[in-house]
Amino acid sequence: MGKNILIIGASGDIGSAIAELLGKEGYQLILHYNKNRNRINQVRETLDQESILSEIQADLSDDAQVKKLLTELVFPIDGIVFASGNAYQGLFHETSEEKMDEMLSIHVKSPWMITKYLLPSMVKKKSGKIIMITSIWGDVGASNEVIYSTVKGAQNSFVKALSKEIGPSGISVNGISPGFIDTKMNRHLSEEDRNRIVSEIPMNRVGTPSDIAHVVQFLLGEQSSYVHGDIIRVNGGW
């Protein structure tokens, strides 16, 4: 049987694309979602039933629900893909403390908690893969998205630091930094704004969730065994 992969945020556009690709490639999946149960059902319909070991619902902004998620991880985990995330747009000085706490919990603290829980078994086996889907804004920052840029930058730092700590244990840690991807996170943009962004991208197109999924597939495979502590930028040269 294939290796067991936990996908955090499997109901999102990128997360579901990752789940569908990995499931068809023989991996066995544990799928996390928060609200979009319908998308999980759609993923299940595209895959053989034995590809999905379990489905776990949890709101990652709630510490108690994250801890409940951990108790439901009854299968051994060979790899973790963190694909969850919420965008937030607004002026920084108008951002509420509640929103700050929510964004930190979803993007930083919950990955900390999940990774901390699963690391001991990976260290014992001396194998494991941890992949974080970050963002171009974690590299360069974005006006009106200061909070989102900050937490995505923290994810990049987490990848770089953790890779140094656990690399000697045979566990690889990498990040993928998407550029402008065709997901619901960007569908609020007007056609004019969308065209303007595309005109700035050397490849002259919007990225797709499958563009990200194929990089995840590479990082989970043996071909990437010497790729470690890296943030792979998938942005069409933007």
Cβ atoms of 103 and 148 within 8 Å: the answer is yes
pLDDT at 1: 59
Q: Which CATH code, of 3.40.50.10320, 1.20.1050.140, 3.40.50.720, 3.40.225.10, is assigned to 4-233?
A: 3.40.50.720
- Taking phi over 0 as left and psi of -120 to 50 as alpha, with beta for the rest, 234 belongs to beta
Annotated domain spans of the chain: 4-233
pLDDT at 153: 98
Stated pTM of the model: 0.95
With cut-offs at 50, 70 and 90, classify the pLDDT of residue 10: very high
Summarised one tens digit per residue, pLDDT across range 22-61 is 999 999 999 999 999 999 999 999 999 899 999 999 999 9
Q: Which of 27, 88, 148, 226 is catalytic?
A: 148
Query: Pick from 71, 63, 74: which is nearest to 112 by CA?
Result: 63
pLDDT at 194: 85
With cut-offs at 50, 70 and 90, classify the pLDDT of residue 184: confident
CA 80 to the chain's CA centroid: 9
pLDDT at 142: 93
Query: Pick from 70, 72, 7, 85: which is nearest to 44 by CA?
Result: 7
Summarised one tens digit per residue, pLDDT across range 189-220 is 788 888 898 899 999 999 999 999 999 999 99
Dist CA 136 CA 222 (whole Å): 26
Summarised one tens digit per residue, pLDDT across range 75-132 is 999 999 999 988 899 999 999 999 999 999 999 999 999 999 999 999 999 999 999 9
Contacts for 39 with CB less than 8 Å, ≥ 6 apart: 11, 12, 16, 33
Give the number of other Cβ atoms within 10 Å of residue 232's Cβ: 18
Q: pLDDT higher for 183 or 84?
A: 84
To the query of whether residue 117 is one of the catalytic residues in this protein, the response is no
